[in-house]
């Protein structure tokens, strides 16, 4: 049975491809989802991929990952990264691995993007590599989850 991984995306990421392409590129979220499913199939993972504009819906998705016994969460919480104690608290209740992903390099942008409430809980952080970051996060999870299985 392959390990389940949740990939959770926050507000405005549904507009990728049209939204600030100089910052976020031309790749759409549907393209990223396709790439993630293809990578997961190669890596022996199952992916539940979601996008939500509402903070509470993202919290509920984290609860779903907990209930489903997911091995890892890859999360791009978008603007909620910088503000949401509710998402931070929900992630604290998750026992699996957490990888924070951002398309842009948040540390090279406005100072309000430099702080992440997810970062202190993350096993790893990938920022600034565009859509490749999601695939790299899946690769990292696959290595770690397989290591855990051997342990």
Indicate the DSSP class of residue 2: P
Site for ligand DQA contains 79 (CB under 6 A):
yes
Site for ligand DQA contains 76 (CB under 6 A):
yes
Q: d(Cα 131, Cα 101) in Å, to the nearest integer?
A: 9
Q: d(Cα 118, Cα 100) in Å, to the nearest integer?
A: 7
Return the residues of window 101-130 that contact ligand DQA according to CB under 6 A.
Answer: 102-104, 106, 113
> Is the Cβ of residue 20 or residue 44 nearer to ligand DQA in the bound state?
20
For residues 125 and 77, is the Cβ–Cβ distance under 8 A? no
Residue 54 structure tokens: 């509402």
Parallel, antiparallel, or unpaired for β 72-76 and 124-127? unpaired
> Is the Cβ of residue 20 or residue 89 nearer to ligand DQA in the bound state?
20
Active-site choice (6, 80, 88, 102): 102
Q: d(Cα 72, Cα 130) in Å, to the nearest integer?
A: 20
Active site residue 114: no
Active site residue 102: yes
Active-site choice (24, 80, 88, 134): 24
**Residues with catalytic annotation?**
24, 102
* Residues near ligand DQA, by CB under 6 A: 12, 76, 78-79, 81, 102-104, 106, 113
């Amino acid at each position: 049975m392959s390990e389940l991984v949740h990939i959770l995306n926050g507000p405005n990421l549904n507009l990728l491809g049209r939204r600030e392409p100089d910052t976020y590129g031309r790749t759409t979220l549907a393209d990223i989802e396709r790439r993630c499913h293809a990578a997961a199939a190669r890596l022996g993972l199952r992916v539940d991929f979601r996008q939500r504009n509402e903070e509470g819906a993202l919290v509920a998705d984290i609860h779903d990952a907990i209930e489903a016994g997911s091995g890892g969460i890859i999360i791009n919480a978008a603007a909620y990264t910088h503000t949401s104690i509710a998402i931070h608290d929900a992630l604290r209740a998750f026992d699996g691995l957490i990888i924070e992903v951002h398309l842009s390099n948040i540390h090279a942008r406005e100072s309000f993007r430099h702080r992440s409430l997810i970062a202190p809980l993350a096993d790893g952080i990938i920022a600034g590599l565009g859509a490749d970051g999601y695939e790299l996060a899946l690769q990292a999870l696959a290595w770690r989850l397989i290591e855990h299985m051997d342990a």
